[in-house]
Amino acid sequence: MNTVENSQSVSVKSMSVKSASVSKDLNPESYLGPKMAAEALTSYVERSGWSKGKIRVLDVGAGTGFVAIQLANRGFKRMDALDPSEGMLEKAKTRGVYENFIQEFLTPDPTPGIANDTYDAVVSSGGMGEGHIPCGALREMVRVVKPGGLVVIAMREEYLRCTSGYENLEPTMAAMENEELWERLERSVLPGYCYHKDGLVYVFRKK
Ligand SMILES: C[S@@+](CC[C@H](N)C(=O)[O-])C[C@H]1O[C@@H](n2cnc3c(N)ncnc32)[C@H](O)[C@@H]1O
């Protein structure tokens, strides 16, 4: 297991304190994001004819590892976790499902330690939220995925309207499609994503 450290220690410390309660709140019965994200990724990986046991997946905003548990249950074996919170990653390590741990924020800038075109897929469940992954970081998801690779994002639908900056989320996605960085394969509204709130699942393929 490898860990890449980051330098944003103030934010990381405060997230570390919160990590235990966040993990408790996100129980699998009332928060279906990880399952929905894993189902979407599995579906497109199978349609692409890829071997789930061989492809490399980056879980962005991995938290305590719920997405990778769902992926491992579906036959995925090569997942890396990226999260700025040391506390979250410590818990994620106990799951025994990730290969590497990258303690970083995803931002519009290149993430230290991740080369261009590294992963077959990027998945993020719950990583989009107030103060979380910024719109500009969508381009970083594309940078780290191989051409033809997949990006799957699961989030609360209401965040498009009530999270500052996310009024630009879908316009940014569309602009990236116009720039031929990626192609949108799916945008689904899914009931019961989190505590009876609707979810959104996006699937993109890098050009
Ligand atoms: C709601 S949790 C989701 C955890 C997990 N993916 C799940 O679905 O259970 C959101 C996670 O995003 C992480 N996060 C916040 N800002 C981030 C950023 N800019 N880049 C990557 N992760 C971030 C937080 O530390 C937190 O662990």
Q: What pLDDT is stored for residue 12 in this prediction?
A: 42
Range in 171-175, 185-189, 194-198 the model is least confident about: 194-198
**Residue 198's CATH number:** 3.40.50.150
User: What confidence category does residue 6 fall into, taking pLDDT thresholds of 50, 70 and 90?
Assistant: very low
3-state helix/strand/coil string of 109-167 = CCCCCCCCCCEEEEEEECCCCCCCCCHHHHHHHHHHEEEEEEEEEEEECCHHHHCCCHH
φ, ψ of residue 202 in degrees (nearest 5): -110, 140
Q: What pLDDT is stored for residue 81 in this prediction?
A: 98
What's the chain's average pLDDT? Answer: 90
Half-sphere exposure of 44 (CA within 13 A, CB side): 24
**pLDDT at 40 exceeding the cut of 90:** yes
Is the C-beta atom of 122 inside 6 A of ligand 1?
no
Is the C-beta atom of 41 inside 6 A of ligand 1?
no
Q: Ligand 1: which of 133, 152, 159 to mutate, judged by most atoms within 8 Å of the beta carbon?
A: 133
**pLDDT at 107 exceeding the cut of 70:** yes
- Give how many domains the chain has, as a whole number: 1
**pLDDT at 27 exceeding the cut of 90:** no
Domain boundaries, position 68? 2-23+32-206
Which residue matches tokens 């290149």? 110
Which residue matches tokens 């989320």? 169
Element holding 202 (H helix, E strand): strand 197-206
Mean pLDDT on 34-59: 98
DSSP string, 54-119: TSEEEEET-TTSHHHHHHHHTT--EEEEE-S-HHHHHHHHTTS-EEEEE-----SSPPTT--TT-E
User: What confidence category does residue 196 fall into, taking pLDDT thresholds of 50, 70 and 90?
Assistant: confident
Mean pLDDT on 16-41: 72
Mean pLDDT on 70-84: 98
Nearest-CA residue for atom 8 of ligand 1: 125
Distance 28 CA to ligand 1 centre (A): 16
